[in-house]
Structure 1
Amino acid sequence: MSTFKHPVGPQPSTVYWRRRLILALGVIAVIVVVVLIVVRPGSSQGTPTPAATNSKPATPGADGTNIPTENTTASGQPCKPANVKVTANTDASTYAAGELPKLTVSITNTGTVSCKIDAGTAQQVFTITSGTETYWKSTDCQSDKVDAEVLLQPGKTVSSQTPIEWDRTRSDPATCQQTREQVPAGGASYHLTTSVSGIESAESKQFILD
């Protein structure tokens, strides 16, 4: 007869069964502790962190604040001109002699629904005037033009990534590869206007050339 199933001793069999149960629970506890030490729940070793990627958002401009500088497309309904605000920007209001103005544009969706617009450099026009005279236009000697559709979220603004630097000369398509005439300075006042996809800035940005 097996002594495992039928313990033999001076004590009642229930005493021996209780001792065996305690011993078995102790063994199980030791095994659990060993497993926990080896596995270490919550450790980053068990779940590798995904490597960072340089993938672009599916819809350019939807999550960022910059206009893409390469050809891109976006899904959505075209923006209504009445719901788009175009703003001409300069990096300063006064420029010392020899300092070159940096020009950018901002586009804001003033509507209540998202919409798409081509805001690429192929659709941007910067114009600098003084009084009634036009001194410079970005399209006169423009190169490397791109179309960049962006999705404008309601109330959100996207802006130029890379500013256009004006060399303080008169623009003339016939003299793009030649030395051009410098515009008047010494406190002269100029105004910058911008248009994007035919939508013009409602106000001009004034600045001074010393």
Structure 2
Amino acid sequence: MTDTPPRRRHSPAVYRRRRLALLLVVLLIIAAVVLAFWRPWEGGASDGPAQPASSDAAASPSSSPSDAGGDAPEPSTSASEPSQDAAAEEVEACSARSVQVSAVTDKDSYGAGELPQLSISLTNAGAEACLLNVGTATQKLTVSSGPDVWWRSTDCQSESSDQVVQIDPGQTVSSVTPITWDRTRSSVDSCDGERPAAPAGYFNLAVEIGGLAAQQERQFVLR
């Protein structure tokens, strides 16, 4: 009877390779399952426009400092750093109670041939910042001599524009480019024609801007 030769045992390295191969197959199966159900891009940022917050979310206050350390809150329009549009909505319109309007001329007296430079000054005397439309569409400058109105900036105005600015508490702003009065009588019917020249004497400048009027007129003299 022939003896059966003993079975040859594999080396430990072979068993280690088999175990590694089996572990790799298991890891691949687990990864496939995770990728099938875990979709981190859903509900996150996208290339399209962000959905607007609901009215309830917009009205809710932002998290207080005591909430720090927990999960990060979802961004909303009520965040502590609002957008420029949201910040502008929180600033109220200027009123006569807070903003002082002043009529300004570059001189008190003008010699023959000198043209007065007329402008407007605004000072926020209130405790809060406010918004005001200072565009040419809201400006009106009027020159008169007693009850006789000589000139209006709106009589021959060809173009107008709007410009809303924020005036901070204690801040004073003035017209960047003054309006030149040519010392003639204005009229909507004579913008392109000859107009009577103003005589020597005392004149007053009254101004309005953004629905606010100066409480006092500015007096100047033509020589």
Under a length normalisation based on structure 1, what TM-score does the superposition of the two structures give? 0.63
Measured after TM superposition, the shift of residue 80 of structure 1 is: 2.1
Measured after TM superposition, the shift of residue 81 of structure 1 is: 2.3
**Which residue, out of 79, 91, 102, partners 1:87?**
102
**Which residue, out of 96, 113, 123, partners 1:108?**
123
**Which residue, out of 169, 175, 183, partners 1:154?**
169
- Aligned match of 1:118: 133
Measured after TM superposition, the shift of residue 132 of structure 1 is: 1.1
Measured after TM superposition, the shift of residue 79 of structure 1 is: 1.3
Between the two proteins, the alignment pairs up a number of residues equal to 137
**Alpha carbon RMSD of aligned pairs, Å?**
1.5
Point out where structure 1 has 5 or more consecutive residues left out of the alignment.
1-57, 60-73
Give the distance between the partners of 1:134 and 1:80, measured in 2 at CA: 27
**Which residue, out of 182, 187, 201, partners 1:167?**
182
SS of structure 1 residue aligned to 2:189: helix
Letter in 1 for 2:218: K
- Aligned match of 1:207: 220
SS of structure 2 residue aligned to 1:174: coil
What's the CA shift string for 1:18-45, capped at 9, x where partnerless? xxxxxxxxxxxxxxxxxxxxxxxxxxxx
- Aligned match of 1:53: none
Give the distance between the partners of 1:96 and 1:172, measured in 2 at CA: 24
**Which residue, out of 193, 203, 207, partners 2:206?**
193
**Which residue, out of 108, 123, 141, partners 2:156?**
141
Give the distance between the partners of 2:183 and 2:208, measured in 1 at CA: 20
Give the distance between the partners of 2:158 and 2:173, measured in 1 at CA: 22
Moved more, 161-170 or 194-203: 194-203
What's the CA shift string for 1:82-136, capped at 9, x where partnerless? 2111000000011010110000101111110001000111111001111111111
Letter in 1 for 2:117: K
8 A Cα contact 2:135 2:163, kept in partner: yes
- Aligned match of 1:178: 193
Letter in 2 for 1:85: Q
Give the distance between the partners of 2:141 and 2:116, measured in 1 at CA: 12
Give the distance between the partners of 2:124 and 2:94, measured in 1 at CA: 8
Under a length normalisation based on structure 2, what TM-score does the superposition of the two structures give? 0.59
Runs of 4+ in structure 1 over 6 Å off? none
What's the CA shift string for 1:125-174, capped at 9, x where partnerless? 00111111111110001122111101010111111000100000001001
Instruction: Compare relative contact order (CA 8 Å, sep 6+) and give the higher one, 1 or 2.
Output: 1
Give the distance between the partners of 1:96 and 1:79, measured in 2 at CA: 38
Map 1:31-46 onto structure 2 (within 5 A). none
Q: Which has the larger radius of gyration?
A: 2
Give the distance between the partners of 1:207 and 1:137, measured in 2 at CA: 16
